[in-house]
Structure 1
C-alpha cells in the first residue's frame, strides 16, 4: 500500500517450494576423527613400540607400570617417591627432584601419561597448589624423557618421535567402565580379577609376570594400589585402542554402558 502511494511498482516476493529446495543445500556432517593420544602415532612408530611404561603420579608417589607388547605381558610395577615436603617446592626444586627420579625410571619405547585438561572445580587453595605442582612435575618429566631420547639419536636420522604419549583424559576409565556419573570408582577389583586370569570380554588377555603379582599383593596402601591399577589399565587401553585397534575394544568404548545394561534386562 505504501509503495503504491509513493508511485512505485509493487514487488511480489513469491518463491516456490521447488526453488527453495534448489537454493538450500544441506552439507552432510563430516565424521569426527577421534584421537586417543597425542601425538598421533604413525604406523611405523606403532610397530617400533614393544616396552610400554605407564606413569601415574599422585602426591609424592610415581608408579611405573612396565608392559611388554610382545606376548602381552605385565612385567612389573615400580614405585618412586618424591620428597615429603613437595607441596612447598619451587620450580628449581621440582626440576632437581625430577632429575633424581629419572635415574630410576624404567626403560621403555613409549611412556604413557594421562593428559590432564583442567583443575577440579571443588578444590581449596592447598589442593589447587598441589594440582599445579603435579602439572609442573609432569611437564618437566615429559621434557627430560624426550630430551634423553634426542641425545640417543644420531645426527643423520630424521626420526624425532616423542617417547612420551599423552593419553586422552579418562580414556582408560571409560574403556574399563569405572565411571559412575562424573566420578571414577576404584579399579582394584577389576585388576585383581585380571591378575587371576579373568578379563573383560572386550580386552585382550594378558600374562602377568610373577614379579608383578608379588609386587601388587605386597602393597598395603590402597591409594598406591589404585595408582598401580590405573597404570595397568592405561597400558592395556593404549595397546588395545592405539597399537592393535582391537575391534571389540573400539566397539565397547563407543557403546553406552547404560544402554547395554537395559538391553540385557530385556
Structure 2
C-alpha cells in the first residue's frame, strides 16, 4: 500500500513539474508580446492605436521611410503584410522579423509625432516629455501665425499657398500625399494709378472665387518696415497695396462658406502666415537677407517629380533631399513651362511656400526642420 501511494505521489509531482515547466516556457516565448501589451495599451489609447495601424497597413515604402525605421525593416513589414494581410493589433506587428519591442516603440512614437506634431520619448521621465512637447510647440508657433491647433491639424487634407506679387497673385494646392492639385495665377492689372479700396476689394473677391477648396490657406509673413522705404516712395506704395490685398484675402477666406459651417464657439482660422523667408531658407535660395530666383530650384523639383512618376516607390532616394518630393501632373508642368519669366517666378514662390508649410508644419519632416534650425 505504501508503495502504491509513493508511486501516485511521484506521478503527481511529475505532473506538477511538467505544468510549471510548460508555464515558464509559455511565458518566456510570449514575454515580448505580453510586455508590449501591458506597457503600451495604457500608453496608446484606442484612437492612437487605430491611427498607427492605419499608417502601417496603408503606407507605401516611400511613406514609411519618413518614420523612425530602417529600410530593411520596412521591407519586412511589407512582406509580412503581403503574406499575412493587414495588422489588426499592435501585438501582431511584433511577429515581423526584426521588429522587437524597442523598435516598435520608436516606430509608434514616430508615427504619432508625424500625425500630432508632438515628440514622445518613452525612455525619459514625464517632466522631460513635457519640456520636449513645449519646445516643439514653441518652435512651430514661431514658424506659423496664428498657432495651428492640434484638433485642426489632424484633419487637414490639403493646403493652398498664396503668393502676392507685384504683377500677379499665384497659388499652389497640395494634398497631404504630396500631389500638386492646382497651380495657377491671376494677373494684377492695377495700372500706375492707385485703386480705391472698394475697387481693390472687387479684384480680391474675383481672385478668391478662382482659388481651389483647401482646408487651409498659407501666406508668407512679409512685414516690411515703413522706415526702410521712406526714401523709396514707389516701394512704399507697392508694400501698402500688398498689405491691403493681404488683409482682404484674410477677411474673405476666413469667412468663406466652409468656415461659416462651424459654430461660433468653435471658430478656427483658415488663413495662416509662415515666417518670412522660411521657403527661401529651406530651398537654399537666400543670400544674406535677399532672395535669389527660385526658377532653378523649381525646375529641379519638377524634374524629380517626372523621374519619380516612372520609378517604383521603394527605389526612390529620399535620404538626401531636404524636402519631401511631390507628384506633379504633366499638364501642370507644361502649363508652367509656357509662362513668361516673370509669371514663372511668381508661380515658383507659391509652390515653394506650400511645400515648406507641408514639410515643416504638417509632416514635420526631420530633414526640413534640420535645415531650418541648423541642428545636426
1:220-264 deviations in whole A, cap 9, x for unaligned? x212211111111111111111011111111111228xxx9xxxx
Which of the numbers 226, 233, 237 marks the counterpart of 1:125?
Answer: 233
1:101-131 deviations in whole A, cap 9, x for unaligned? 2222221111111112214725621221121
Which of the numbers 189, 212, 235 marks the counterpart of 2:332?
Answer: 212
In 1, the alpha carbon distance for the partners of 2:295 and 2:194 equals 31
Q: Secondary structure at the match of 2:237?
A: helix
Instruction: From the two aligned structures, give the one with the greater strand fraction.
Output: 1
Would you say the 8 A contact 1:178–1:185 is kept in 2?
Answer: yes
Q: Secondary structure at the match of 1:75?
A: strand
Equivalent residue, structure 2, for 1:92: 198
Shift of 1:151: 5.7
Structure 1 unaligned segments of length 5 or more: list them.
1-29, 261-266
Shift of 1:43: 2.0
Corresponding pairs, count? 225
Equivalent residue, structure 2, for 1:136: 244
RCO higher in structure (CA 8 A, sep ≥6): 1
Q: Secondary structure at the match of 1:215?
A: helix
Would you say the 8 A contact 1:53–1:110 is kept in 2?
Answer: yes
Shift of 1:134: 0.9
Structure 2 CA distance for partners of 1:150 and 1:160, relative to 1, 3 Å: farther
In 1, the alpha carbon distance for the partners of 2:298 and 2:167 equals 23
Pairing of 1:1-266 with structure 2 (within 5 A): 33-34=138-139, 35-69=142-176, 71-85=177-191, 87-119=193-225, 121=228, 124-149=232-257, 152-155=260-263, 158-197=265-304, 201-219=321-339, 221-255=340-374
Structure 2 CA distance for partners of 1:197 and 1:135, relative to 1, 3 Å: same
Shift of 1:36: 0.9
After TM superposition, the score normalised by the length of structure 1 is 0.77
Structure 1 vs Structure 2 CA RMSD:
2.4
Would you say the 8 A contact 1:119–1:131 is kept in 2?
Answer: no
Instruction: From the two aligned structures, give the one with the greater helix fraction.
Output: 2
Shift of 1:149: 4.5
In 2, the alpha carbon distance for the partners of 1:154 and 1:133 equals 31
Q: Secondary structure at the match of 1:186?
A: coil
In 1, the alpha carbon distance for the partners of 2:182 and 2:212 equals 10
Shift of 1:208: 1.2
Would you say the 8 A contact 1:75–1:211 is kept in 2?
Answer: no
In 1, the alpha carbon distance for the partners of 2:362 and 2:327 equals 18
